[in-house]
Chain A
Amino acid sequence: MKKNIKILAGSAILAVASSAAVQAGELTVATVNNGHMITMQSLTGHFEKDNPGIKVNWVTLDEGTLRQRVTTDIATKGGQFDVMTIGMYEAPMWGAKGWLHSLEFGSSYDVDDLLPAMRNGLSANGNLYAAPFYGESSMIMYRKDLLDAAGMSMPDNPTWGHVQDAAAAMTDKANGVYGICLRGKPGWGDNMAFLTTMANSFGARWFDEEWKPQLDSPAWNHAVNFYVDLLTHYGPPGSSGNSFNEILALINEGKCGMWIDATIAASFVSDPSQSKVADVIAYAQSPVAVTHRGANWLWAWALAVPAGTQQSDDALKFVEWATSKEYINLVGEEKGWGSVPTGTRSSTYQNMKFLAAANFAEAEMKAILSADPSNSTQEPTPYQGVQFASIPEFQAIGTAVGQQMSAALAGTISVEDALAASQKAAEREMIKAGYY
């Protein structure tokens, strides 16, 4: 026992000694645990081979944790990361504060090839602050077999009324098939991402031009009532706890007729190694109620270089590599064209190999091209963003509202009460933040 203690004490001392500083030439890249990033991680060797002397260390986290981690680091100038994966929500805010290096690349990078919506969404004051790694919008994924059996069809640009009819026709609860599955788990990036696009299309907006929250407007009321009604009648049980993964499991098991969610989902549901319905899934654009504006979201995961890093040159090299046309080609050659990161460059959608490999490419491109973060609501707003408002307060507001929406969905409170409580919560935040 004495010996054991000695060994253990030794290891404790070792631990203190071995906590050395980061060596030069090592890049620490923070990223999220999504499929495309995992591919990037596995291809790092190519970058290291082309750039001898640079070694890339990965810190992979889930989305929420990553956001908290990198925001803490950049705001306190902790300097832990040389490259950060950030979203369309952070990039313009942080860029405007001078927290990020503005990105300028050589002509071979072909910055004009970036999709305009992506480029705008990641810029502030005309400077690009984060390079898009992959982009996504939202669309309908539906079971063509079930719809055919019900004697219905899905137009390319359906209305919400048609979606409701289709959901009713496909629902077969006795056999465990639910017409429509939608997000319900509270969170600004969970149920509110979807619900905001739905509300946009019903003519709603988060704030008016004076930054007054608009959750008590008839448009929100109409949209949320429609949502709750739809899921209550034709949705699966447990909807108020479902987000992307839960629904993906349901649809892959053949339990859902329709699903409206991120375009990236198409690559999962069409993958026979994880989906039982891979060959019967078809795609259409997000449904529309009174306006097509903001009916489908726009999101990009992008790579940015924090202003505080001491290795900005190497970091910029890495960002350029990972978001270049050559990288997309590399993924296509090494991993197959079905798994290239999409939604960033128009050249990708002109690539025949990609179009041949991905049956969802056309629907995805159409969705991404139709989204415009600076003009996403019927009435004018002072904010950027389709499924969010790019102000620091939005995460808290969106999550508080999301909790109310999940309660309305679970039936514990009425839609009217939920929206009234949401309006109050949003007003509180805006007053605290000093908007008025």
Chain B
Amino acid sequence: MNISYRNMKKIKHQSRILACWTLAIIFFFPIFWMVLTSFKTELQAISIPPLFIFEPTFENFSIVQERSDYFKYATNSLITSFGATIFALIIAVPSAYSMAFFPGKYTKDILLWMLSTKMLPAVGVLMPIYLLADAAGLLDTKTVLIIIFAMMNLPIIMWLLFSYFKEIPSEILEASRMDGCSTFDELRHIVLPLSWGGVASAGLLSIVLCWNEAFWAINLTAGDAGTLTALIASYSSPEGLFWAKLSAASTLACAPIIVFGWFCQKQLVQGLTFGAVK
């Protein structure tokens, strides 16, 4: 009886692991396929039936490198997405902290209103923003992208931080206040360490969203400030099959953020669990 129970548990454990891997492979397969395609020739890329085994070529990558200054685009992406995220986090952390721990009468409404600033569809406000950016002399600069990205993601970061901060048991904070912690100390020594995983995941999400933002990154830039989404746009063509090259460009564009995500996922899980704190 005891043995069979243990066996049951083991089988359950094993089948859950199997399910995890199956799901992971299903979800990752399209990306794997894109990366695989980037090593094919254009003819192999459209082959029927699809090719799984073939002699890989690096031609696509060398063409992308030759044709466009990948590092310029990548640097722009890096600067704009990190710049905007840091900017937004600096503003959002204190705000979310104060909303979570000193909620006022209108806190909930303010939060909802913040989210509603994202409701204006980009295609509807292209002209106003373009005219403003032009008037400010900010067209084709990283500055304008940093500002727009930060404003776009601020509400989301606020919401995420707010919800993570809310999960911190209030007893911990009360104890610290008894000890005479100032607001700043409390934020720095108690709230942030406890919700570091949450801050990291909010930051990661914001960076990813900036990294993949295409509409503004293409419409407000020309030769100087284009990000990797603009690089991708330069490889899709309505007349000509460039799947292998497009896949190579996409692989190059997504690789940094996937690698970054891989490092971050450790941060996300390392966030201290409250059970251990108590």
Contact = CB atoms under 8 A, between A and B. Distances in A.
Direct contact of A and B (CB under 8 A): yes
Interface of A: 5, 8-9, 11-12, 14-16, 18-19, 21-22, 26, 28, 30, 32-35, 38, 41-42, 57-65, 68-69, 72, 76-78, 80-81, 176, 189-190, 243-245, 248-249, 252-253, 255, 262, 264-265, 268, 273-276
Contacts of A41: 67
Binding site of A, secondary structure by majority: helix, strand, loop or mixed? mixed
B223 A58 contact: yes
Interface residues of B, number: 48
B82 A12 contact: yes
Interface in B233-264: 233-243
B82 A253 contact: no
B237 A253 contact: no
Nearest to B47: A253
Contact of B233 (A62, A189, A262): A62
A244 B242 CA distance: 12
12 contacts: A12-B146, A33-B240, A34-B239, A35-B240, A65-B218, A76-B131, A78-B130, A81-B222, A245-B239, A249-B46, A273-B41, A273-B43
Given A12-B83, A253-B48, 16 more contacts: A8-B83, A12-B82, A16-B146, A18-B142, A21-B137, A33-B236, A63-B239, A69-B218, A72-B127, A72-B219, A176-B48, A244-B238, A248-B240, A249-B46, A253-B46, A274-B42
A217 B230 CA distance: 43
B160 interface: no
A140 to B, nearest CB: 17
A155 B101 CA distance: 81
Interface string B199-233: 00000000000000000001100111110001001
Contacts of A60: 68, 233-234
Nearest to A243: B238
Given A5-B86, A18-B142, A72 B126 contact: yes
Q: Which of B67, B218, B240, B243 has the most C-beta atoms of chain A within 10 angstroms of its own C-beta?
A: B240
B241 A33 contact: no
Nearest to A69: B219
Given A34-B237, A189-B238, A245-B240, A12 B223 contact: no
B167 interface: no
B176 interface: no
